[in-house]
Amino acid sequence: MAFSNLLTNRLLYVSGILLVLLSIPVLTFVVELVTAAVRRPRLGQSVNWSKSLTMTVLIPAHNEATCIAATLQSILPPVRASDRVVVADNCIDNTADLARSQGAIVLERHNDRQRGKGYALDYGLQHLAESPPDIVIVIDADCDVKPGSLAALTRYAHQNHCPAQATHIMAAQPEESLRDSISRFAVKVKNLVRPLGLKAWGQPCLLNGTGMAFPWTTLQQIDLATASIVEDMKMGLDLAIAGTPPQLCPEAVVTSRLPTNDAVSTQQRTRWKHGHLQIISTYTLPLFTVGGRRARLDLIALGSEITILPLTLLVLLYTSMLVLAFGIGLPTYVWGLFVIAFSLEIMLVIALVLAWAMYGREELSVKQPLQLSVYMLLWKLPILAKIFTKRESGWVRTER
């Protein structure tokens, strides 16, 4: 009997710790979504261009011949052609020639041992260091920039002396599958709804890889020449620890296009999710530790933000926790863990419904919950399974 009681107590202790750890991302997620649902700003508002500021748009490009011209055209005006710098990184197509035909400055880089966006950005910054601009804006080679967005980013980064992140969403396709619609909604939740919730509380956001504006001086605080597969998230966290956390600039809007090839789409999302898990294991403890020691709420907020797992994995883990708490409650009559877990599950569902009602009607109709469940099981679980069988460790370009 004593052994049984000891085993039960240890099981309760371990389950309680697991519930606390899972509660951090769930509560953070819920607070962000509910806050964003209450406060919904207008996006893409016109902002006057400040002629006194110098600005350069830096575009890392690896074999982007199919889209580089359209991207360059979307960032004129007010940017001069000579203020657009394209880093043709290890290209084997005519990306460089097409960029030059649009009047952009083209830097060609060839280094097979150092592959990745981080190295391309570092190469471009070395070129700009000869005559640095006030603001550097990073745009991916497959994006469209809404009018007024570059002016908004430049002014925001300059006035607040911090990196500024544009609203980065996915463009709708003419004949869109359910999976594409769900993907666009998921990206909107991650890149718009959650950052809006953080902004309402006066907290910073993560960087999304494109539509990022940096005062020149802030870029000197970190090393960009890395092979990280989520270099944007890493960059934002490094800058936050250095004292200049990124802020959302919702007036600026940048759109990307989802990959049309199933294999490519799966590869891209696998890289994002595996990279995110690497960030969680590397940065969570330092952010909480430094934030607590320096009394910096922004670092603690970012530490909580990065613990928000990919939604499918978060739901699966929390459902497992709920089942475990129920299993413990049956023989022990200790139902506290189950009540807490069940309450948080209800809060999570309510927050997702609010986010959909305020921001997701364009992507998902009200009739698609069952289809969403099938999607999560048949498409997302194989990606998550690779976390334990074949992790992504190197940068791979997403085919357009």
Residue identified by tokens 């649902």 is 37
pLDDT in tens, 229-285: 778 899 999 999 999 999 999 999 999 877 666 666 666 667 777 778 889 989 999
pLDDT at 395: 53
Mean pLDDT rounded to a whole number for the chain = 83
How far apart CA 25 and CA 308 sit, in angstroms, is 5
Give the residue, 359 or 2, on which the prediction is more confident: 359
The pLDDT value recorded for residue 320 is 83
Q: pLDDT digits over 82-122, tens only?
A: 788 999 999 998 999 999 999 899 999 998 888 888 899 99
Whether omega before 78 lies within 30 degrees of 0, making that bond cis, reads yes
Cα separation, 360 vs 33, in Å, equals 12
pLDDT at 242: 92
pLDDT for the residue 3: 47
Domains in the chain and their CATH numbers? 2-40+289-389 (no CATH), 55-284 (3.90.550.10)
Long-range contacts of 365-370 (CB under 8 A, 24+ apart): 368/178, 368/181, 368/182
- List, for residues 276-323, the tens digit of each pLDDT value: 888 998 999 999 999 999 999 999 999 999 999 877 677 777 788 888
Could you tell me the pLDDT band of residue 353, with boundaries at 50, 70 and 90?
A: confident
Q: Which residues contact 139 (CB under 8 A, 6 or more apart)?
A: 57, 58, 59, 71, 75, 145, 210, 211, 254
Distance CA 155, CA 49 (A): 8
Query: How crowded is residue 9: how many other Cβ atoms within 10 Å of its Cβ?
Result: 11
| pLDDT (0 to 100) of residue 332 | 79
Residue range 160-199, pLDDT digits in tens:
999 999 999 988 877 777 777 888 888 899 999 999 999 9
> Which residues on adjacent β-strands are paired with residue 249?
166
Question: In whole angstroms, what is the distance from residue 247 CA to residue 152 CA?
Answer: 13
What Å distances lie between residue 388 and 96, 214, 276, 280, 282, CA to CA?
39, 36, 14, 16, 17
Structure tokens at 349: 């569902």
Q: Is the pLDDT of residue 377 over 60?
A: no
